[in-house]
């Protein structure tokens, strides 16, 4: 059988990193894998995997971002239809069984109905709730999704139980399957962490709702207890200028922009913070990457993080959207090295049991074989 994965995006976040790890592992297991993507960073990251055939999508559609993006996408749709028809016709002509995976919003709208013209099986990966997207642009994304995508999926893979609950009014329960995301680290052998004391790190797109602003507010309280503490913010996005303004050129708040492989910085950090309060948050891949690296983690007590993390068991969870409580949780960890070690050890054990990419890819294969 062959797996055809469609992913349109411009950023390189959790969805793109998961796609990279999942497809790489599936290819290493002997599956034929084809990736169709507009994401240059993903193409570059996966280019070394010889068993994956990659085709760059020449058109970028985004039906759910803003008015400009919607108008541009509608204008490009006729060209996209011709392009995707050609691709799907070629896929359907192959001898082995073909499966179509759609990971992003726009390709579900345009790829899935065309795939059905060729009787191809279609699988959606839904990372987070759809309702916030449906409310944008006068409800046009919802109209497009219901008209062209919703009934085309043979199965819907959800990465969290929160997402499954959020989609229960859109998809029948029997079509949805919960498979969490996973990640890959070399043989899952974690080197000893050479921690830079007082270093707090967040890795995420710089987008309103991802919580970097709440963490910057919390940092002002943290530095009262730890004057030499340092906050590292890794990521790019349209929230950068506002965050820079909020930080007031603070000498110990570092904006590191895009880093291809942030593992070294995560490993050296004392605390990893996942402050997202984004309504579309689907999983939080950075959480399990930090777990795999035996790091002490602080996040807000909200889905989907509180499905992965348990307060005082493998992390500390702060009151949702409360920057003051977020600061208190970070301070309490920085004061208590034994608690850091206890939480980090349990987090690593949980990663081994639940989130290794090899085990996650087996669940995908079992779905396809059945």
The string of pLDDT tens digits covering residues 144-177 is: 999 999 999 999 999 999 999 999 999 999 999 9
At residue 52, φ and ψ (nearest 5 deg) are -110, 125
Residues in Cβ contact with 139 at an 8 Å cutoff, skipping those fewer than 6 apart: none
SS3 199: strand
For residue 48, pLDDT beyond 80: no
pLDDT value of residue 225: 94
pLDDT value of residue 192: 59
C-alpha–C-alpha distance, residues 314 and 119, integer Å: 45
Q: Sign (positive/negative) of CA torsion 307, 136, 255, 7?
A: positive
pTM for the predicted model, two decimal places: 0.87
For residue 256, pLDDT beyond 80: yes
Band of pLDDT at residue 191, cut at 50, 70 and 90: low
Q: Of 97-106, 207-216, 250-259, where does mean pLDDT reach its minimum?
A: 250-259
Q: Degrees (nearest 5) of the Cα angle 180, 42, 266?
A: 65
Could you check whether 2-183+356-369 and 186-354 share the same CATH topology? Answer: yes
> Where do the domains of the chain lie?
2-183+356-369, 186-354
User: Are 128 and 103 contacting, i.e. CB atoms less than 8 angstroms apart?
Assistant: no
User: Are 125 and 107 contacting, i.e. CB atoms less than 8 angstroms apart?
Assistant: no
For residue 15, pLDDT beyond 70: yes
User: Are 89 and 126 contacting, i.e. CB atoms less than 8 angstroms apart?
Assistant: no
Q: Of 48-57, 153-162, 318-327, where does mean pLDDT reach its minimum?
A: 48-57
pLDDT value of residue 222: 97
Query: Exposure of 59 by Cβ count < 10 A (0-12 exposed, 13-18 middle, 19+ buried)?
Result: middle
**Strands in the chain per DSSP E:** 2-7, 32-37, 52-56, 98-102, 121-126, 155-158, 176-178, 196-203, 230-234, 253-257, 269-274, 296-300, 316-318
More confident residue, 231 or 284: 231
Q: What's the chain's average pLDDT?
A: 92
For residue 120, pLDDT beyond 50: yes
Q: Of 45-54, 93-102, 184-193, 276-285, where does mean pLDDT reach its minimum?
A: 184-193
C-alpha–C-alpha distance, residues 234 and 255, integer Å: 6
pLDDT value of residue 188: 44
C-alpha–C-alpha distance, residues 157 and 108, integer Å: 13
User: Are 6 and 106 contacting, i.e. CB atoms less than 8 angstroms apart?
Assistant: no
Report cis status (omega within 30 of 0) of the bond before 188. Answer: no
pLDDT tens column, 339-360 = 999 999 999 999 999 999 999 9
CATH architecture label of 186-354:
3-Layer(aba) Sandwich (3.40)
Mean pLDDT to the nearest integer, 63-74: 92
pLDDT value of residue 264: 87
pLDDT value of residue 187: 44
Mean pLDDT to the nearest integer, 284-313: 94
Mean pLDDT to the nearest integer, 257-275: 87
For residue 197, pLDDT beyond 70: yes
257, β-bridge pairs? 234
Identify the CATH assignment for 2-183+356-369 out of 3.30.413.10, 2.30.30.30, 3.30.565.10, 3.40.50.2000.
3.40.50.2000
């Amino acid at each position: 059988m062959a797996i055809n994965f469609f992913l349109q995006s411009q950023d390189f976040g959790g969805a793109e990193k998961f796609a990279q790890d999942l497809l790489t592992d599936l290819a290493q297991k002997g599956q034929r894998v084809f990736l169709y993507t507009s994401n240059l960073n993903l193409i570059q990251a996966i280019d070394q995997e010889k068993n994956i055939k990659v085709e760059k999508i020449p058109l970028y559609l985004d039906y759910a971002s803003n008015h400009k993006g919607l108008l541009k996408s509608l204008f490009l749709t006729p060209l996209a239809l011709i392009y995707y028809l050609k691709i799907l016709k070629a896929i359907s002509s192959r001898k082995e069984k073909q499966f179509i995976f759609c990971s992003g919003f726009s390709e579900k709208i345009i790829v899935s109905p065309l795939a059905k013209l060729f009787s191809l099986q279609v699988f959606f990966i839904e990372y987070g709730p759809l309702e916030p997207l449906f409310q944008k642009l006068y409800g046009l994304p919802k109209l497009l999704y219901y008209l062209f995508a919703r009934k085309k999926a043979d199965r819907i893979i959800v990465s969290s139980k929160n997402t499954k609950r959020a989609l229960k009014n859109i998809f029948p329960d029997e079509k949805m399957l919960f498979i969490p995301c996973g990640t890959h680290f070399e043989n899952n052998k974690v080197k000893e962490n050479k921690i830079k004391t007082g270093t707090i790190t967040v890795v995420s797109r710089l987008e309103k709702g991802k919580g970097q602003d709440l963490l910057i507010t919390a940092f002002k309280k943290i530095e009262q207890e730890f004057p030499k503490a340092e906050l590292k913010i890794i990521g790019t996005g349209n929230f950068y200028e506002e965050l820079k303004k909020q930080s007031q050129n603070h000498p110990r708040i570092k904006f590191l922009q895009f880093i291809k492989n942030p593992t070294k910085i995560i490993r050296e950090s004392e605390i990893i913070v996942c402050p997202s309060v984004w309504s579309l948050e689907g999983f939080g891949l950075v959480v399990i990457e930090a777990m795999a690296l035996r790091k002490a983690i602080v996040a807000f007590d909200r889905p989907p993080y509180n499905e992965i993390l348990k307060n005082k068991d493998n992390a500390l969870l702060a009151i949702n959207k409360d920057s003051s409580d977020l600061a208190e949780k970070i301070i309490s960890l920085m004061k208590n090295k034994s608690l850091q070690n206890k939480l980090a050890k349990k987090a690593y054990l949980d990663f081994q049991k639940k989130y290794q990419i090899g085990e996650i890819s087996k669940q995908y294969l079992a779905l396809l074989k059945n």
